[in-house]
Amino acid sequence: MTAFVDFHGVWLAYNDELLARQQFAVEDISLQAAEGAFIAIVGPSGCGKSTFMKLTTGLKMPSRGSIRIGGAPVTGPLKISGMAFQAPSLLPWRTTVDNVLLPLEIVEPYRSQFKARRDEFRERACRLLRTVGLAGYEDQFPWQLSGGMQQRASICRALVHEPKMLLLDEPFGALDAFTREELWCTLRDLHAAQRFNVILVTHDLRESVFLADTVYVMSRSPGRIVVRREIDLPRPRDLELTYSTHFTDIVHELRGHIGAMRQPSAKPTGEAAAARVAP
Amino acid sequence: MNKALERWAPLILLLITLALWQLICSAFKVSDFIFPSPWRIVEQAWEHRWTILGHAWRTYWVTMVGFAIAIAVGVLLGFLMGSSRLAYSAMYPLMTGFNALPKAAFVPILVVWFGIGAGPAVLTAFLISFFPIMVNIATGLATLEPELEDVLRVLGARRWDVLVKVGLPRSMPYFFASLKVAITLAFVGTTVSEMTAANEGIGYLLISAGSSMQMGLAFAGLVAVGAMAMGMYELFSVVERRTTGWAHRGSNAT
């Protein structure tokens, strides 16, 4: 079986100068995810999680190693992906539904059909908004929505062109705990219904364990994958699960890995970090 | 009740100021040749209403021509600066230096090039007012959220797409804010230029009224420029609220 997302020994230095000094933002990243898999990447701030996003979408090319998505090597911006970030970054002069429609005005083949099929596309965007609980807010402006609702709209925008891969960079980081848990469920249901690949970058361990099939823990400067942990909790998962002992044990275990990294004495050097990488 | 007070506050303040002014002039018997009272200014303005109107019209259209050029050039240069980092770093220091020059100093040069008349006044109005427009457009374009740009670039957006879909609408509030500043500056430019290089316009009226000691008329001329600038300012405020209400949601939230 070939993996849908396939990183093979990927290193990235942001520019030639850093490359010459052998300073890499991420080092020796290898990971595979099957089609439709949900993976989460956790780690402390500055561990190269966002760099990882840029590599996956083809906004950055690796300095060494290779990345293959969907069987083909990544050579430039990858249009089969949708992205959402911690800030919803909706355009305040567009209504919610027009914000969701924005990718369709840009990405081919929708771009050239946009004028002719506008109503159909609008209907699609509205349907998507309904599935995340934003029915009735289509024609409101983003600033009339709460933070959680804006983030829902932002995720709709990432999904409207039916990408095969959804990249989320701490998408729930700015929300309160209850809204966050609601949105976990929204994301869980969207993923269950549409089976796109998800790469979720977060520093919330409960979030990663609740949502993902596989969690990767990254170390800080240089960014390396320290631990790979399969989450064997059965799907569909319910929020109740997050209070079970098994769930807490996994979170605790991951927390242990991150705690070990943060001990000044145990600061991982390249070799030590490499030695801890699980097969 | 508070809303109504807020609305009428400028007018009330103006009336109080005028009343005080009149009171002081009458109480201390200040000579009209030194400092005319408001009543005297009104009298003179009425007496010379056609002269003032003629000069005001001239100043108005000259300013509008200069301002139109300023919008065209300012938007163009701002677009260039905002969309290209290289252009930004190359032009910004030069433009700042240029903006620091007193525009009145250009008038003699412009007279040599274009002669006495509308030419120097139009160009002075343009020179003094394009800078804020340019800077505001450039700032609006250059301060895009990097995340949003990533979202669009992944989708295969070209630079042009990002500029048109996001950059330009985003810079509209900056643009209208700059128009309000620039229009008042443009009137300053025209008037200053007319004072030395024209036989028509409010600037010319000020100089000739001053030299014949008609202080009431000179003040009436000032009032005319002020009224025109305020009128245009209000016009752009209305246009701004109509077109970019989303950026001012704090003040007129529903």
- DSSP strand pairing (A214-218 vs A38-42): parallel
Contact B217, B208 (CB under 8 A): no
Query: What gap in Å lies between CA B27 and CA B17, rounded to an integer?
Result: 15
**For residue A263, what pLDDT is reported?**
66
Q: Which residues pair with A5 in a beta bridge?
A: A33, A69
Pair of tokens at residue B180: 């309000």
Chain B: residue nearest A54 by CA?
Answer: B150
Query: What gap in Å lies between CA B216 and CA B204, rounded to an integer?
Result: 15
pLDDT digits (tens, 9 = 90+) for A59-115: 888 888 888 888 888 888 888 888 888 888 888 889 999 999 998 888 878 888 888
- The total number of residues shown for chain A amounts to 279
Query: What gap in Å lies between CA B206 and CA A160, rounded to an integer?
Result: 64
Give chain A's mean pLDDT.
Answer: 84
Query: What gap in Å lies between CA A67 and CA A55, rounded to an integer?
Result: 8
Question: Hey, are the CB atoms on B152 and A106 less than 8 Å from each other?
Answer: yes
Query: What gap in Å lies between CA B254 and CA B252, rounded to an integer?
Result: 6
**For residue B185, what pLDDT is reported?**
92
- Chain B contact for A91 (CB, 8 A cutoff): yes
**For residue B1, what pLDDT is reported?**
61
- Residue B88 domain flag: yes
Pair of tokens at residue A241: 């699960």
> Among B188, B176, B180, which Cα is nearest to B231's?
B180
What are residue A166's phi and psi, to 5 degrees? -115, 125
Q: In what order do the strands lie in the sheet with A225-230?
A: A81-85, A165-169, A197-202, A38-42, A214-218, A225-230
Q: Report the gap between the CA of B142 and the closest CA in chain A (Å).
A: 16
- Chain B CB contacts of A158 under 8 Å are 151
**For residue A278, what pLDDT is reported?**
41
- Chain B contact for A14 (CB, 8 A cutoff): no
Pair of tokens at residue A269: 């050097």
Query: What gap in Å lies between CA B46 and CA A65, rounded to an integer?
Result: 84
- Residue B229 domain flag: yes
Query: What gap in Å lies between CA A238 and CA B144, rounded to an integer?
Result: 39
Indicate the residue of A79, A82, A92 with minimum beta-carbon distance to B246.
Answer: A92
pLDDT digits (tens, 9 = 90+) for A34-68: 888 999 998 877 777 778 888 888 888 888 888 88
pLDDT category of residue A277 using cuts at 50, 70 and 90 = very low
- Residue B124 domain flag: yes
Pair of tokens at residue A193: 């219904």
- Residue B34 domain flag: no
- pLDDT of A268 strictly over 60: no
Chain B: residue nearest A162 by CA?
Answer: B155
Chain A: residue nearest B149 by CA?
Answer: A89
Q: Report the gap between the CA of B251 and the closest CA in chain A (Å).
A: 14
Give the angle subtended at the CA of A14 by the CAs of A8 and A17, to the nearest 5°: 120
**Domain locations along chain A:** 1-74+164-172+196-244+258-279, 81-163
| Number of other residues whose CB lies within 10 A of the CB of residue A270 | 12
- Residue B2 domain flag: no
Query: What gap in Å lies between CA B43 and CA B48, rounded to an integer?
Result: 9
- Residue B94 domain flag: yes
How far does CA A254 lie from the centroid of its chain? Answer: 18
Query: What gap in Å lies between CA A44 and CA B84, rounded to an integer?
Result: 35
Fold adopted by A81-163: Rossmann fold (3.40.50)
**For residue A210, what pLDDT is reported?**
93
Contact A55, B154 (CB under 8 A): no
**For residue B184, what pLDDT is reported?**
92
> Among A78, A121, A129, A120, which Cα is nearest to A102's?
A121
Domain A1-74+164-172+196-244+258-279 and domain A81-163, same fold? Reply is yes
Question: Hey, are the CB atoms on B151 and A157 less than 8 Å from each other?
Answer: yes
A1-74+164-172+196-244+258-279, superfamily in CATH? P-loop containing nucleotide triphosphate hydrolases (3.40.50.300)
> Among A214, A217, A218, A252, which Cα is nearest to A233's?
A214
**For residue A214, what pLDDT is reported?**
92
Please list, residue by residue across A213-227, b when 16 or more beta carbons sit within 10 angstroms of its beta carbon and e when fewer do. bbbbbbbbbbbbbbb
Query: What gap in Å lies between CA B83 and CA B136, rounded to an integer?
Result: 13
A23, amino acid identity: Q
Average confidence (pLDDT) over A139-161: 89
Question: Hey, are the CB atoms on A59 and B154 less than 8 Å from each other?
Answer: yes
Using DSSP, state whether A27 is helix, strand or coil: strand
Contact B155, A58 (CB under 8 A): no
From chain B, which residues contact A within 8 Å (Cβ)?
A: 145, 147-148, 150-157, 161, 165-166, 169-170, 172, 244, 246-247, 249
- Note the ipTM here: 0.70
Query: What gap in Å lies between CA A110 and CA A117, rounded to an integer?
Result: 9
B49, amino acid identity: R
When divided into structural domains, chain B yields a total of 1
**For residue B249, what pLDDT is reported?**
65
pLDDT digits (tens, 9 = 90+) for B198-214: 888 899 999 998 888 88
Please report, for residues A47, A117, A168, A193, the alpha-carbon distance to residue A190 in angstroms, rounded to integers and kept in the order given.
28, 25, 14, 5
Using DSSP, state whether A80 is helix, strand or coil: coil
What lies within 8 Å, CB to CB, of A78 at 6+ separation is A56, A57, A58, A69, A165, B154
Q: What is the dihedral of CA A54, A26, A196, A98, to 10 degrees?
A: -20
Task: Indicate the pTM of the whole model.
Answer: 0.75
Percent of chain A with pLDDT over 70: 92
A1, amino acid identity: M
Domain span at residue B162 reads 41-246
**For residue A13, what pLDDT is reported?**
84
CATH number at residue B49: 1.10.3720.10
> Among A176, A128, A173, which Cα is nearest to A152's?
A128
Please report, for residues B140, B170, B183, the alpha-carbon distance to residue B177 in angstroms, rounded to integers and kept in the order given.
11, 13, 10
Mean pLDDT per 10-residue interval, chain B, length 254 residues: 83 92 89 85 89 92 94 93 87 90 89 88 93 90 80 82 86 89 92 88 90 87 92 89 75 42
Query: What gap in Å lies between CA A21 and CA A247, rounded to an integer?
Result: 42
Residue with the bigger pLDDT between B38 and A267: it is B38
What lies within 8 Å, CB to CB, of B193 at 6+ separation is B104, B107, B110, B120, B121, B123, B124, B125, B203
- DSSP strand pairing (A165-169 vs A81-85): parallel
User: How many CA atoms lie less than 13 Å away from B253 in the CB half-sphere?
Assistant: 5
Question: Hey, are the CB atoms on B151 and A81 less than 8 Å from each other?
Answer: no
**For residue A33, what pLDDT is reported?**
87
pLDDT digits (tens, 9 = 90+) for A227-261: 888 888 888 888 888 899 999 999 999 888 888 77
Q: Report the gap between the CA of B109 and the closest CA in chain A (Å).
A: 45
